Structure formats: C-alpha cells, structure tokens
Amino acid sequence: MENHTKNFRALIVGDNTNFRRLLRYNLEQHPFIFSEEKADADRGMEEIHAFVPVILFLDIRLPGGSILSLPERIKRDYPKIVVIALARRDLSECRQAAIPKGVDYFLTKRASTYNEVVELVKLILTNLML
C-alpha cells in the first residue's frame, strides 16, 4: 500500500537509529499507518510542524530536549497529538513527572515488545475513530 493511502501518521523521535527503524518497520505493517523518524528534539519539532502526526513516540533521553519540556510544548501547540514516551527503564519518578507534562503513555523499550506497541497504537487509533 502506498503512503498516500495511509490515514494515520506517526512520528518517532529518538537517537537510537536501530530502535527507530525497527519500530517504524513494525508500525508500517499496519495498513493505515505512515511514519517518519528523527534523531533529535529540534528535527522532531520541525517535523511535527510540517507533518502533524496523530501519534508521537518520544525518547525521554533525547539530544536537544527534555522529557519535561518537550511534551508540554507539543501539547500546547497540538493538543490532539498522542504522546508516547519511550524509556530504557521504567523509572517511576520519570513516569510521574512526565504524565502531567503531556505524556499520554509511557513505555519501556526493553519490556515492551513491538507487538505490544502496535497493539497500543491500534487501541489509540480505534479510540480516535469512535
């Protein structure tokens, strides 16, 4: 299926190239998802302004941005974007700080399988269509 027929856009912002590419590949197995990827916060913000994704995957340890400031800026300008924070470890203090700043979901990279991520995306998209 060609990208122009895909209805939902996802943006993956993180500095781990292998993780971004694997997540993108898995997301694009869903017939309605088209995704882009960026390596740092500045390029991610540029892409958000041009691309306006439905779902944003955001690494919490990101060059050029803070998990505490970036989601807040994004939600201020684009309140409908669903922000999914990605972390290497499930740090409860980080999770607790991120949620009030605009993070909708918090996933641990190592604990969450790609199938679980895709299932979460399907759930989000289903809720958006209701």
Domains defined for the chain, CATH in brackets: 3-129 (3.40.50.2300)
Q: What is the mean pLDDT of the chain?
A: 81
29 to 5, 17, 51, 81, 112: CA distances (angstroms): 14, 19, 20, 21, 17
pTM: 0.85
Q: Around Cβ 8, how many Cβ atoms within 10 Å?
A: 18
Q: What is the pLDDT of residues 75-125, one digit of tens each?
A: 999 999 999 988 876 667 777 777 778 899 988 877 667 778 888 888 898
Alpha-carbon distance 27 to 71, whole Å? Answer: 21
Q: Which two tokens stand for residue 120?
A: 């979460």
Alpha-carbon distance 109 to 127, whole Å? Answer: 23
